[in-house]
Structure 1
């Protein structure tokens, strides 16, 4: 009984010893947490990923013909996507033929109402659906409406006016040789005259527009049109 009484008296002290001294344990835990935090801070990556912007070029299909179009060349925002489209409207700086740094995105409704700057070549690519080709119109349709006598133009081109009352009234047909070149041009008036020249590539027609005053350097313009016509259908079937 003496031994049991002595053990019972010692038990609370042992329990107190086993459950005591929480301070050092807590301090050690805080030190470990602090060390882990410092190491994680030092090793945490400091870089950040920039958001991916638009690709340099967008593949589009017009009239079952594939074109690889510079992203900044789109004039109308809703057309700026890949895949089949009936028409796309583009612009390129002249004479560099680069896509403009700050394209002007407009809606379809007001695209034709915006005054065009004179440092751009404008290009519309449309599906022709087997309509008459630009070459056929030049040979067979336009001569029906031309005035009788041609007049000389700048730098070895000839200019023939369309008759008044014809579908092309107030326009002139400008034809150059070496290289072959043809354009319909409105005459200067309250607004400067504009010219258009066309190319056909497979199922698409390419219509280029530029200021009439550029006819003074028409060979350079013809070369720019040929260059764009060759470079855009890089995914051509």
Structure 2
């Protein structure tokens, strides 16, 4: 009984954390905002920005967005969810989440994949889908509840939590100029991993501002 209650609480918490935090845009709100993160320019759909405090143009340290999947359109205005209706409102996650943050010359995602992750991986790999390699992290490591997925064409590297009380989620990072882009999406999407990889590539390209 306690396990069931814990699972319900965990699901409710995920629903709360993933629920968009922006409000209805004003009539004069622009469709897109030019935002500079780490000195790199992005043109961001206003309604995709999850936090109202981030919905302004100019330099920002970090910005959080989400897009409907697979259309990659900004989401519409969210419906109100109360504690009484949260269970009924829980649907499969139909959006991809993106955080853009200045990296300040920290270790790049590519360097972490090449030099840090291999220290923590179990030997051997599996091929659950055509062209997609999976390696488990050892249980005694900081990534002990995760697996590392990688593919060459289209390129994909993702750390994914395993399904438990809540569905597994994947994190995939890439560096663009002075910013690191961190995508989050359900692990279940890896059954069509090429579509997920191409969606991240498309979003990265369409959000970029003019290149200097």
Deviates more, 1:84-93 or 1:144-153: 144-153
SS of equivalent residue, structure 1 residue 153: strand
- Tell me the residue number matched to 1:152: 127
- Tell me the residue number matched to 1:167: 142
TM normalised by structure 1 equals 0.71
Deviates more, 1:71-80 or 1:96-105: 96-105
More strand by share: 2
Quick one: which of 186, 190, 195 aligns to 1:220? Answer: 195
Q: d(CA) in 2 for partners of 1:131 and 1:104?
A: 38
Q: d(CA) in 1 for partners of 2:114 and 2:78?
A: 36
Compare relative contact order (CA 8 Å, sep 6+) and give the higher one, 1 or 2: 2
- Give the 4+ runs in structure 1 shifted more than 4 A: none
Distance 1:148 1:165, change over 3 A: same
Residues 97 and 184, structure 2, Cα contact 8 Å, conserved in 1: yes
- Tell me the residue number matched to 2:68: 93
Quick one: which of 89, 101, 114 aligns to 1:139? Answer: 114
Distance 1:180 1:52, change over 3 A: closer
- 1:165-221, Cα deviation, whole Å (9 max, x unpaired): 211110000012221211000000000000011111110000000000000000001
Quick one: which of 13, 16, 29 aligns to 1:54? Answer: 29
TM normalised by structure 2 equals 0.80
TM-align CA RMSD: 1.9
Q: How many residues matched? A: 178
- Tell me the residue number matched to 1:193: 168
- Tell me the residue number matched to 2:45: 70
Residues 69 and 95, structure 2, Cα contact 8 Å, conserved in 1: yes
Shift of 1:53: 2.0
Distance 1:201 1:159, change over 3 A: same
